[in-house]
Structure 1
Amino acid sequence: MSFSFCTASKKTWEWEWDQESPVDNSDKPRFICIDASANFPDYANSKENILRDLTLAKDAGFTDIQVLVRPTNGDALFKTDKVDQVKWLSYWDNGVQRQLHRTAEWDYLEAFIEAGHSLGLKIHALFDTFTGSRRNSLGHTGLLARDPSKKHWASSLLQADGTIKNGLDADAGETVFFNPVHEEVQEYLLGLLEDLATNYPDLDGIIIDRGRFADLNSDFSDYTRAKFEQYIGTSLTNFPADVVTGEMVASSSLPSQLPPYFKEWIEFRAKTIYDFMGKARSRVKAINSKLNFSVYVGGWYSTYYTVGVNWASKSFDAAKAYPKWASSKLKDYGYASLMDYILIGAYAGPTRIYGDKEWSVQGFCLQAKDKIKSDAIVIGGIDIGNGAWATTDRDIVNQAVVESIVTATNSSDGCFVFDIIHLKKRDQWAFAKEGIRKASAAK
């Protein structure tokens, strides 16, 4: 999934959009994200640093912490006997990728729970889901890197030339995804989620991240083909071209004439994720009914079908809004009602705050509220460190932190900020605090 950000200048300032009528935001949750890799140098081996920074988050007005405990390599930062513990993670330091080893033996997630609860903060375990390993210049880690017998769990990716390659053999970026269709993969992940729910009775919530296919180019294994043919009730004579072509993967666009089973393929993938989310919620709630079960998704619903997800309410008919790619049956696989919270990535640039369409912070939030209805609590969030946020004038960015928090909070049921590392590196705590203060004061 590629991102589109707009270059900022004072001439293109877009903060003149009329706000909605003021609302009471005082009780709305305010999340801050804690990525594993970026923050590993501070937190991997220091409980003191964890308490220090959660204290800063509390002082700024955040109410909820989401801490990544299953990074993209798929290893664990929580108690489980089903996969290895994280031994090291890579992070960026002034443009250089470095390696940080974890030598501490104390429980990483429990340290966040203890520190957070001592401050009155709620702690949610963020769980990267359909990721099986991560590879870069420093090494290849994760289950798919260690266990050759699990190679069939990796997604099979459609190439631009129409061939199909296992993700471990393809040049497809650092993260190697599992095949979400595979029942063995699903059962493995459900077991990990059960361990989270069982081993941390004081945990406040679990948030699913990357609960999706890698992209439109996955999964094209023989296993998935057989499952799809079972779904449509017929055998395909021209697979994968009957569902997706290499040209579609290469261009990241839809042709005027779609393959004959394209819409059914979109349905099938959405059903796969819908069914998994239902099973995951049931397994978690059976262990701890008070544990919130939630999900993070990108707000760009108009193109999110490429990763096999329908995060809307079943009462939202995507076929009417997006007839090009959505069938009338797709609405049956909207999973909003399965979630306690849906965290929406409202990842527009710092000069794209206001609007009513996608690619503005406000628009992402309003569109999500419309699609999700009242099926789940909608939390709009901003990424304050990537894309145009990293290159725009610092004074503009600082004010955008304030305005984006206010706007996301006003336009949804709360807000989240990605990531704590950006607030720390750029010393933007005061701007986050001001945004939360202004948002909380809105009546």
Structure 2
Amino acid sequence: MSFTFNENANILWVDFLANGKRLSDEAEQVKLLDNAIKSGITHLIIDAKVPFGQTTYPSKYGYHVSTWSDGRFDMWKERDFLKEFLSTAKDYDVKVLANVDVFSEGTTASRDGIAYDKDEWKVTFYNDAVASESNAAEYKDADTIFVNPIHPEVVEHEINIIKEVCTYDLDGVVLDRCRYPNVYGDFSELSRKGFEAYIGEPLKNWPEDIFTIAEDKSVVFGEYFPKWAEWRAGNIKAFFQKARTVVKEKLPLFADYVGSWYPLYYSEGVNWGSETYHPNLEWTSDTYHVSGLAEQLDFLMTGCYYYDVTRQEAEEKALPDYWYSVEGAADISLDAVNDSIPFVASLFLKNYKGDPEQFRRAIKMCKEKSAGVMLFDTVYLEEYNWWDVLRDELVKSNSGK
């Protein structure tokens, strides 16, 4: 249990929402593991807690995926995905980590999730006008319900989930959605009091002293926004410190998965960079670096979610910045991590649908720039029939080192 992170990692994410029905058949689990090993995969990430808060194992604290009101995972009733998959994987030479989606606890689509039973846990948005379209940051109409990262009961709940996950014979734990939903949350009284205590003075105009919303719906940073960004990021770092202590008592690896767009990450309220990295952005304070959480991790995965592979391609297309490319996203990730820990550039396979050659180029760039590659998600390898493409690229790259 004392191994360190392999800095030539080929990581494959297995999203339960996309793959859970298929993997209810043990033969499909075997097929997945066979394909992964043949393709050069070194690490698998499986879900212990999905983006809407349900657990894939029987939990004393969370709701099991089989309790979903629409019955989508009825085939998992009275079953334990973690236990079953780990049993299947025990004879394979692959590391298995469990992902925990942390502060997402419900879905507006079916009104399932613990957030509907714990209304006081929910994030309070800036105002009613943004709340209806701002449940999650991934996209405008996302239906994920987020809970307040500083609510004591929320913190206790999420730590209890992580403790449960660490009782399994895993190689590590990955946190995802360990963040605020977006720039509009949380503006509860709990957050107001916490922030005022942090800066040592009351705000005269709440929440306008943080930011205002222009007629075009853009956010206009106020006087206190830089300290607000630092405070929010510090809250997330504090949770990581708690979670790390829990994980490292039992398992070797502790990791995080974030978006690579650091210059815009004030929205999510996370500073995934190093404490030694001093960004100079419009919204950062002089002391923003104190909220850096990279040192809490054994490795970090950043989503380099762009079709264009090189910085030159992004420039030729007149994209907003160089980091709207796989290469640029990797570069900005390297800058922020500042050699503190290994970082793994990560790809969203759907970006390359119908273009396996661009997929190959993207893998090569990730391997060149970072400590490996992470591929999201398994379902696209199945859908596009790309296992051979992946094997050709990863096995070839590994043999060339």
User: Would you say same fold, with TM above 0.5?
Assistant: yes
1:214 aligns with 2:175: no
1:305 shift after superposition: 1.6
Partner of 1:194, secondary structure, is: helix
1:422/1:88 CA distance change after superposition, 3 Å: farther
Match of 2:224 in 1: 261
Match 2:357 to one of 367, 377, 399: 399
Match 1:325 to one of 280, 283, 287: 283
For 1:14-163, list aligned pairs within 5 A. Answer: 28-43=8-23, 45-87=24-66, 99-136=72-109, 139-145=110-116, 147=117, 150-159=118-127, 161=129
Partner of 2:108, secondary structure, is: strand
Determine the C-alpha separation between the residues in 2 that align with 1:410 and 1:31: 15
Whether the 8 Å contact between 1:156 and 1:167 is mirrored in structure 2 is: no
Determine the C-alpha separation between the residues in 2 that align with 1:203 and 1:178: 27
Whether the 8 Å contact between 2:135 and 2:144 is mirrored in structure 1 is: no
Whether the 8 Å contact between 1:157 and 1:164 is mirrored in structure 2 is: no
Determine the C-alpha separation between the residues in 2 that align with 1:425 and 1:164: 33
* Higher RCO, Cα 8 Å, sep 6+: 1
Determine the C-alpha separation between the residues in 1 that align with 2:53 and 2:364: 34
Determine the C-alpha separation between the residues in 2 that align with 1:269 and 1:302: 15
Match of 2:265 in 1: 304
Match of 1:382 in 2: 347
1:88/1:58 CA distance change after superposition, 3 Å: farther
Match of 1:10 in 2: none
Counterpart of 1:46, as a letter, is D
1:161 shift after superposition: 4.9
Determine the C-alpha separation between the residues in 2 that align with 1:207 and 1:181: 20
Partner of 1:225, secondary structure, is: helix
Instruction: Provide the TM-score with structure 2 as the length reference.
Output: 0.90
1:196 aligns with 2:161: no
Q: How many residues align?
A: 384
Counterpart of 1:267, as a letter, is E
CA offset digits 1:92-120 (Å, max 9, x no partner): xxxxx993423453320122222223111
Instruction: Provide the TM-score with structure 1 as the length reference.
Output: 0.81
CA offset digits 1:39-82 (Å, max 9, x no partner): 12201x22221121111111111010001121112111124211
Counterpart of 1:355, as a letter, is R
1:424/1:89 CA distance change after superposition, 3 Å: farther
Match of 2:203 in 1: 236
Counterpart of 1:188, as a letter, is H
CA offset digits 1:7-41 (Å, max 9, x no partner): xxxxxxxxxxxxxxxxxxx9611100111111122
Whether the 8 Å contact between 1:112 and 1:123 is mirrored in structure 2 is: no
> Which blocks of at least 5 consecutive residues in structure 2 are unaligned?
1-5, 313-321
Most deviating of 363-372 and 235-244: 363-372
1:441/1:160 CA distance change after superposition, 3 Å: farther
